[in-house]
Amino acid sequence: MITGGLSGFGFAAAEWLYREGVRHFVLLSRSGRPDEKTQASIDDMIRNGAEVLLRAVDVTDFQRLNQVFTDVAASDLPPLKGVIHSANLYADAPLMEMQQEAFLKVVDTKVEGAWNLHLASRPMDLDYFILFSSISSWVGNPGQANYCAGNAFLDSLSAYRRQQGLPSLTLNWGALAEVGFLASHQEVNDHLQRIGIQSMDPRRALESLPMLNGFQQMNLCMAEVDWPTWASFHETGASPKFSKLVQTSNASEGSGKPPLIEELEQLEDPQARQLRLREQILEVVAGVLGVGSTDQIDLHRGLTEMGMDSMLAMELRQRLQEAYACKLQATAMFMYPNVEKLVGLFRDQLLQGMFDSQEVVQELGEEDLDDMSEEDLEGALARELAELRESEQ
Ligand SMILES: NC(=O)c1ccc[n+]([C@@H]2O[C@H](COP(=O)([O-])OP(=O)(O)OC[C@H]3O[C@@H](n4cnc5c(N)ncnc54)[C@H](OP(=O)(O)O)[C@@H]3O)[C@@H](O)[C@H]2O)c1
């Protein structure tokens, strides 16, 4: 029996079990209706001797779920031997913006669903009770507090069941290519790759399951992660918990100034230096937003309006930190919400030593002044006034 078994990784698991010789399936989802491609694959399985029962059931509804177990027990199918809980929903949002409804619907599918399966299957003599969880409950993932919390429950449920002498294994998968959410959200896939979480081939991932039979653990994480890259994007990466995985390369430390800073230093003309800083930041922003050319970015338009969600904001912060070897506050992307404001932050605060010459303002022609935001003009005027005052004293 596979919950969420009519799509995504749940159905990939059904296909893998079929290849392994399993011939009796109960596949559950709320709709109970597979899409065309999945139906064709089910038809193939049936043609080749498999028995496939499809049921529309919401796993958070204990009565209905329990009824499915009763129906299966009363049917011609052989006794139920294994359950895989793959039912899942996503409703990502930064924690402070996450509505209760979005939080609960994700958590309930994982928590209530798993608990109901635990209760309903207790009378059965199962060989396997497998919960599909995610690496995110081990390492966290910004914007997925609900998903991480729901999966963390699955991690503990296996411990509880094992204590009771019941079979249970929670598998914390890394990103999976081609199935489920990532298959239809290439931009999320690209982002995960950039922050060190590589997507795995779901077939390969499933094919390595039999070797897990030899393991006694209740939780296993199977993921492809570039740990140093991952740690550079996540403050939790500095935790001793990950020290064995994150082997920070000393070679890259103290190897000199970042190239972008060197490039700025080589420009003697202060105006050119400021213009280059703006271009550099535009290039970093364009890279994170995935737009082909910096011309497509309006300097004064909110980054959020241009598609920068909390996940990408985290990535932008990290890229800027690396590019300029600096530390940015976690809220920096919200406090400096467009490119021009970010340029101002670097020019006036973080790289101040490089831009403290008043020449920058004096040498900007009228055309450049037209291009400046109100805040930049205010800053420029403030600097001029300060200089005038100094010269009067
Ligand atoms: N995809 C990945 O990269 C990835 C990575 C790590 C872990 N995982 C884990 O692998 C599992 C499958 O992920 P996926 O991305 O393939 O998911 P998915 O494409 O979103 O498929 C899950 C299915 O669950 C069904 N479902 C949702 N709520 C339900 C409920 N209350 N009762 C019954 N069925 C319900 C949905 O069908 P209906 O709408 O018809 O109900 C949906 O098609 C999840 O447990 C996930 O945490 C996936």
Least confident of 63-67, 132-136, 286-290, 373-377: 373-377
- Paired residues of 222 in beta bridges: 173
Predicted local confidence at residue 312, as pLDDT: 86
Question: CA–CA separation, 369 vs 371, rounded Å?
Answer: 5
Ligand 1 atom index nearest CA of 29: 34
The CA 301 to ligand 1 mean position distance, Å, reads: 36
Residue 367: what pLDDT?
Answer: 42
- CB of 106 closer than 6 angstroms to any ligand 1 atom: no
Ligand 1 atom index nearest CA of 133: 47
Per-residue pLDDT tens over the stretch 248-307:
544 445 557 888 999 999 998 888 999 999 999 999 999 888 887 899 999 999 999 998
Helix (H) or strand (E) holding 40: helix 36-47
What is the structure's pLDDT at 214? Answer: 63
Helices (H), 165-236: 180-184, 186-194, 202-207, 227-233
Chain centre distance of CA 234: 12
Backbone CA torsion sign across 304, 306, 311, 317: negative
Q: Read off the tokens for 347.
A: 């020019």
356/387 Cα distance (integer angstroms): 11
**Amino acid identity, residue 385?**
L
Could you tell which of 9, 33, 92 is best to mutate to test the pocket of ligand 1, judged by most ligand atoms within 8 Å of the CB?
9
* Residue 315 Cβ contacting ligand 1 at under 6 Å: no
For a mutational test of ligand 1's pocket, the pick from 88, 151, 179, i.e. the residue with the most ligand atoms closer than 8 A to its C-beta, is: 88
Measured CA to CA in angstroms, residue 213 lies from 15, 208, 218 at distances of 19, 10, 11
pLDDT at 209 over 50: yes
User: Is residue 181 within 8 Å of 8, Cβ to Cβ?
Assistant: yes
Residue 374 — very low, low, confident or very high, per pLDDT cuts 50/70/90?
low
Residue 381: φ, ψ to 5°:
-65, -45
Beta strands 197-198; 224-225: pairing state: antiparallel
Say what the pLDDT of residue 385 is.
54
- For CA atoms 258, 263, 268, 273, the dihedral sign is negative
> Does residue 370 or residue 194 have the better pLDDT?
194
Residue 87 CB–ligand 1 contact under 6 Å: yes
Query: Ligand 1 centroid vs 86 CA: distance in angstroms?
Result: 5
Alpha-carbon torsion angle 6, 12, 17, 22, nearest 10: 30
* Percent of the chain topping pLDDT 70: 87
CB-count exposure of residue 216 (10 Å: 0-12, 13-18, 19+) = exposed
Per-residue pLDDT, averaged over 81-86, amounts to 97
pTM for the structure as a whole: 0.77
Please state the φ and ψ torsions of residue 283, each to the nearest 5 degrees: -65, -40
Say if ligand 1 is within 6 A of residue 88 CB. Answer: yes
Distance 9 CA to ligand 1 centre (A): 7
Residue 16 near residue 206 (C-beta atoms within 8 A): yes
- Domains in the chain (CATH in brackets) are 2-242 (3.40.50.720), 259-392 (1.10.1200.10)
Could you give the angle at the alpha carbon of 289 between the alpha carbons of 188 and 274, nearest 5°?
150
Q: Is the pLDDT of residue 225 over 50?
A: yes
Taking residues 180-197, report their average pLDDT.
85
Mind listing the pLDDT tens digit for each residue in 35-61? 999 999 999 999 999 999 999 999 999
Residue nearest atom 42 of ligand 1, based on CA coordinates:
4
Close Cβ partners of 88 (under 8 Å, ≥ 6 residues apart): 4, 8, 109, 110, 132, 180
* 278, 299 Cβ separation under 8 angstroms: yes
